[in-house]
Chain A
Amino acid sequence: MDAYEKLLKKAKSSGQQVNNGTKNVKRAINFSKWKLILTTLSIVLMIIPTCYIFTFMYYAFGTKSTTLMDVASKTLYITEPNTTLEEMEFDMDFSIFSMGLSFEQYKQIGVDFYPAKSYDLTFVLNDLVKSDTISHVEKIYPKNPTETNQWIVHPNHTVEFPTEVEWRVLSGLPDETVVEAYLSFDDLYNVKDIVKEMNSVDVTWAAIYTGTEDDMVSADGDIVSPIGYPVQRDQTYWSPFRDSTSHEETFLMMLKEIEPYEDIAVKVSSHKNLELEERIQYIEANGFKTYGVVVTGPKAEIVSLRDLTMVRHMKLGEVKLWNWER
C-alpha cells in the first residue's frame, strides 16, 4: 500500500467517526426533546387529579360535605313552614374545589306528601355561590320577606292579605278537598295546647316566638321571618326530628348547630336574616311559645277552626283532592 492509499483510508475512517458523532448528538437531542415533552405532559395531566384529591380532602377533613348538607337541610326544616326532605333524594356532585347539592323538598297536604321545591346548591369550598330553586306549588310563600308580607304573624302585627277573603275562598272549595292553611293566633300559646285544640286536623309546623316577631325586626334593625319546627312525629330516617323526645329541644339544638354557619343558612333559606344568636338567647330565657301554625286536613275541618277564638288570621295554602284516609 502506498502512502496515497494510506492517507485515503485514514481520511475515510475519520469521516465515519464524524458521522457517528453527529448521529449520537441527534439521538441525544431527540431523547431530551421527548423527555421534556413527556415530563410536561405528566405534570399537566396530574393537575386535575391532584385538585380532586385536595377537594375531597377538604370536604372530608375541612368543612365536611355532610356538615354543609346538614346545615342546608336543617335550615329548611326551621325556616320553611310545613316542609320535609327525603334522604335518598339528595344528590351530591363534586368538581374542582366545589360541591353541588341537589334535593327535593316536600309538603304535607292532607295525609300525602307532594313535591314543593327543587333545590340546586353550588358550594365553592364552604361558600354557597349559587342557589337555584324551582317551586312546584301554586301558592308561593313571599320570596322577598318584608315586615308585613308574612303569612303567619304575631298578635301585635298586621297582615297584608285580607283574612275574610281567604275564609270565603276556603268555604267555596269543594268538600272533597284537603287543604293547607297558615293560622295566626291572638296570643302566644303552648304548641301542645294547640295540637289538643285542633285534634281534627294535622298541625304540621309551629312558628316559635323569638322576641323579634312583634314587628319582624331584630334588635339590629334587620328584617326577620318566622322560624319554627315540625310538630308531628317524623320517622323519616333523614329527619333531625326522628326519635326526638322533644321537638322543642331538637329545634333549639338545631338553631345552635346552624349558628356557626349562619351565612350559609341565610343564603339557603328564603329569609333575609336569621339573627340566630339573639333568637337563641330569647328562647333559652323565655321558652317556647307559638303565635301561629300550619295545619292541613279536610276543608270542612279547616273551616271549623274559624270558630276558635284564638284564630286571628288564616292564609290558604295548597289545595289537593281528597286523600284524608285514616
Chain B
Amino acid sequence: MELGKVKMTFFQGLGWLSIVLGLLTLLFINISLISGYQVPLMDNFSLLLYPAIISGAFSSFNKRSRSLGLWGLGLCAYIGLFIVCMFFLGWMVIPFP
C-alpha cells in the first residue's frame, strides 16, 4: 500500500517536473522573442527540453500520472513544432545566408 503511494507520488512528480520544464522553455522562448535577441534555439533550450521529454515520457507510463505526463509531452511537442517551423519558414522568408 505504502509502496504504491510512493510510486504514484514519484510518477506524479515527474509529470509536474515535465510540465514545469516545458513551461520554463516556453518562457525563455517568449523572452528571446520579445527582447529580439537572436538566441540559437536548439543549443540553449535542449538543456530543459530533453529532461522535460524524458520525465514526461516516464510519467505517462503510470495511469494516475498519465495526464500530467502527456501535458508535459504536449508542451515539448509544441516547442519542437515551433523550432522546426521557425527554422524552415525562417529559411524561406530570409533570403540571405
Chain A residues in the interface with B (C-beta under 8 A): 34, 38, 41-42, 45-46, 48-49, 52-53, 56-57, 59-60, 64-66, 69, 87-88, 90, 92-95
Contacts and interface: CB of A to CB of B under 8 A. Distances in A.
A49 B29 contact: yes
Interface of A is mostly: helix
Interface string B28-68: 01100110100000000000000000000000000000000
Interface string B78-97: 10001001100110111110
A160 B53 CA distance: 72
Contacts of B85: 53, 56-57
Contacts of B29: 45, 48-49
B80 to A, nearest CB: 12
B8 interface: no
B23 A41 contact: yes
Contact of A57 (B78, B89, B94): B89
Contact of A90 (B23, B86, B96): B96
A57 B11 CA distance: 38
Interface of B is mostly: helix
Interface residues of B, number: 25
Contacts of A87: 96
A48 B33 contact: yes
Contacts of B71: 38, 42
26 contacts: A38-B23, A38-B71, A41-B23, A42-B26, A42-B71, A45-B23, A45-B29, A46-B26, A49-B26, A49-B29, A49-B30, A52-B33, A52-B82, A53-B82, A53-B86, A53-B89, A56-B92, A56-B93, A57-B85, A59-B89, A60-B89, A60-B92, A65-B94, A66-B95, A92-B96, A95-B36
B86 A52 contact: yes
B94 A49 contact: no
Contacts of B75: 42
B82 A59 contact: no
B93 A65 contact: yes
Contact of B93 (A42, A49, A60, A90): A60
Contacts of A48: 29-30, 33-34
B86 A56 contact: yes
Contacts of B36: 93, 95
- What are the nearest 8 A-B pairs in CB distance? A56-B89, A45-B26, A60-B92, A65-B93, A59-B93, A49-B82, A60-B89, A53-B85
